Structure 1
Amino acid sequence: MEQLSEDSRASTKKILPIILATAIFMQMLDSTVLNTSLPTIARDLNESPLNMQNAIISYVLTLALFMPVSGFLADKFGTKKIFIFAQVLFIVGSLFCSLSHNLTELVIARMLQGVGGSLLTPVGKLALIKTFPKNELLKAMNFAIVPALIGPVLGPLVGGYMVDYLSWHWIFLINIPIGALGILLSLKYMPDFKSTIIDFDLKGFLIFAAASLLLSIALELFGNTVHISPVLLTLMLGFLMMYFYYRHAAKDNNPIFPLNLFQVRTFRVGIVGNLATRLGISSVPLLLPMMIQIAYGQSAVISGWIVAPMALTAMFAKSAVIRILDVFGYRRTLMVNTFMIGILICCMAIPTVSTSIYWYMPIIAALGFFNSIQFTSMNSISIADLRQYHTSSGNSLASVNQQLAIGFGVAFGLIVLKVFQGDVKLIHNEIHNAFRYTFLVIGGLTILSGFVFRRLHFKDGENMRSA
Structure 2
Amino acid sequence: MMPAQERDPAGKPGFRTIALIIATAMFMEQLDITILATALPAMARDFGTSAANLSLAMTSYLLSLAIFIPASGRVADRFGALTVFRAAILVFMAGSALCSLAGSLSEIVAARLLQGLGGAMMMPVGRLILLRAVDKQHMVAATAWLLVPALIGPIIGPPLGGFIVTWADWRWIFYINIPIGLAGLVLSSIYFENTREPAPPGSRFDGFGMILSGLALGSLFFGAELASREGEGRIAIGLVAAGLVFGAAYLRHARRHPSPILDVSLMRIPTFRLSMIAGSLTRVTQGAHPFLLPLMFQLSFGLNPAQSGSLVLATAVGAMTMKAFAPRLLRAFGFRACLMANGVLCSLLYGICAFFDATWPHAAIFAVLVASGFSMSLQFTALNTVAYDEIAPPRMSAATGFYTTFQQLMLSAGVCIAASVLHVGMALGGRDTPVLGDFRAAFLVVTGLSLLSILWNARLAPDAGNEISGHHLRDR
TM-score past 0.5 threshold:
yes
Shift of 1:257: 3.0
Paired residue type of 2:31 = L
Shift of 1:203: 2.1
Paired with 1:355 and 1:316, the residues of 2 have a C-alpha distance of: 24
Match of 1:237 in 2: 242
Paired residue type of 2:206 = D
2:136 corresponds, among 134, 139, 143, to 134
Match of 2:189 in 1: 187
Alignment of 1:324 onto 2:329? yes
Shift of 1:112: 0.9
Match of 1:18 in 2: 20
Alignment of 1:393 onto 2:395? no
The alignment partner of 2:12 has SS state of helix
Match of 2:217 in 1: 212
Match of 2:444 in 1: 440
Contact 1:141 1:380 in 2 (8 A): yes
**CA RMSD after TM alignment:** 2.2
Give the length in aligned residue pairs: 464
Shift of 1:127: 0.8
Residues 276-295 of structure 1: pairs in structure 2 closer than 5 A: 276-295=281-300
Q: Deviations over 1:310-357 (max 9, x none)?
A: 111111111111111111211121122121122122212223345455
Paired with 1:209 and 1:178, the residues of 2 have a C-alpha distance of: 29
Paired with 1:245 and 1:118, the residues of 2 have a C-alpha distance of: 20
Match of 1:299 in 2: 304
Alignment of 1:106 onto 2:108? yes
Paired with 1:230 and 1:55, the residues of 2 have a C-alpha distance of: 18
1:77 corresponds, among 55, 68, 79, to 79
Paired with 1:446 and 1:254, the residues of 2 have a C-alpha distance of: 33
Match of 2:465 in 1: 461
Alignment of 1:262 onto 2:267? yes
Q: Deviations over 1:123-178 (max 9, x none)?
A: 01101111112222222121111111111112122212211222111111011001
TM-score of the aligned structures, taking structure 2 as reference length = 0.92
Paired with 1:165 and 1:430, the residues of 2 have a C-alpha distance of: 29
Shift of 1:465: 1.1
Alignment of 1:251 onto 2:253? no
Match of 1:95 in 2: 97
Match of 1:431 in 2: 435
The alignment partner of 1:97 has SS state of helix
Indicate the larger mover: 444-453 or 454-463.
Answer: 444-453
The alignment partner of 2:436 has SS state of helix
Match of 1:422 in 2: 427
Shift of 1:416: 0.8
Paired with 1:330 and 1:411, the residues of 2 have a C-alpha distance of: 30
1:345 corresponds, among 346, 350, 357, to 350
The alpha-carbon distance between structure 1 residues 437 and 36, as it changes in their structure 2 partners (threshold 3 A), is same
1:63 corresponds, among 62, 65, 73, to 65
Shift of 1:449: 2.5
1:368 corresponds, among 368, 373, 380, to 373
Q: Which runs of 5+ in 2 are unaligned?
A: none
Shift of 1:396: 0.4
Contact 2:425 2:434 in 1 (8 A): no
The alpha-carbon distance between structure 1 residues 19 and 432, as it changes in their structure 2 partners (threshold 3 A), is same
Paired residue type of 1:463 = E
Paired with 2:357 and 2:309, the residues of 1 have a C-alpha distance of: 20
Match of 2:155 in 1: 153
Contact 1:343 1:444 in 2 (8 A): no
Alignment of 1:313 onto 2:318? yes
Identity between Structure 1 and Structure 2 (%): 34
Q: Deviations over 1:14-48 (max 9, x none)?
A: 53212101001111111121122222222222221
Contact 1:310 1:368 in 2 (8 A): yes
Match of 1:452 in 2: 456
Residues 29-40 of structure 1: pairs in structure 2 closer than 5 A: 29-40=31-42
Paired with 1:180 and 1:3, the residues of 2 have a C-alpha distance of: 19
Paired with 1:159 and 1:231, the residues of 2 have a C-alpha distance of: 27
The alignment partner of 2:89 has SS state of helix
TM-score of the aligned structures, taking structure 1 as reference length = 0.94
Contact 2:141 2:326 in 1 (8 A): no
1:271 corresponds, among 268, 276, 285, to 276
Q: Which runs of 5+ in 1 are unaligned?
A: none
Shift of 1:52: 1.4
Paired with 1:7 and 1:363, the residues of 2 have a C-alpha distance of: 37
